[in-house]
Homo-oligomer: A and B are copies of this chain.
């Protein structure tokens, strides 16, 4: 509400990260400044570029400021499972152990942009940024929850329910990062990517989306998704009853009353 109408200074690039982390724990002015300072070293990746390889040791920590990426695994015969999407506002490589091998590869799906998070990670490790430490820990916990939700989608939900559930999750995650509102959000995914995430064929994703549109529940136009009836989607997929929803809403709870 406050600054959506005034993208004045071309907006700070760190904005999504700032919003996201602030929704997880109150950050001090110092901590916010620390994040803003990170805006120095940018790094870009092109669509299809592998940002972190599977089995590779932990990378330098990063703050995602623009673009989407996928955490995924590709089978020898070409099938691929996308475990989760990396969105603006997310952080990468902040979990301590530097020696551990990544259990998945992270691949850019669109033009992708990150900031160096080294200084931030050091401040957190040194105990100089307690708010950030809490936020990062909460972020990790939320990520774990989202993975379990994804598992429930794959194992128990029908195609129709899966898409509904997934769209609600995206809407909420993106809104927290300051992208999109309670109904509308950017969706730069092809149907193939959706298929690989939801464990469905491209054709069937297409037909399921059509059904949702036909029924007036969603609208898709040029990279933007609109949830016309979030309530319906929610009841279709039982979204509010289980899983990471609680965390995402708790996040908003922290943010809103301010």
Contacts and interface: CB of A to CB of B under 8 A. Distances in A.
Interface of A: 55, 73, 75-77, 79-81, 83, 97, 100, 103-104, 137, 141, 144-145, 147-148, 150-152, 154-156, 198-199, 238, 241-244, 246
A148 to B, nearest CB: 5
Given A103-B145, A145-B103, A75 B155 contact: no
Nearest to A250: B101
A141 B198 CA distance: 24
A148 B100 CA distance: 16
Nearest to A79: B156
A96 to B, nearest CB: 9
A244 B103 CA distance: 8
A221 B215 CA distance: 50
Contacts of A155: 81, 154, 198-199
A199 B100 contact: no
A148 B75 contact: no
B242 A75 contact: yes
A198 B198 CA distance: 16
A112 to B, nearest CB: 22
Identify which of A144, A156, A198, A243 gathers the most chain B CB atoms within 10 Å of its CB.
A156
A242 B151 contact: no
B156 A151 contact: no
B152 A81 contact: yes
A97 B151 contact: no
Contacts of A246: 55
A52 B118 CA distance: 37
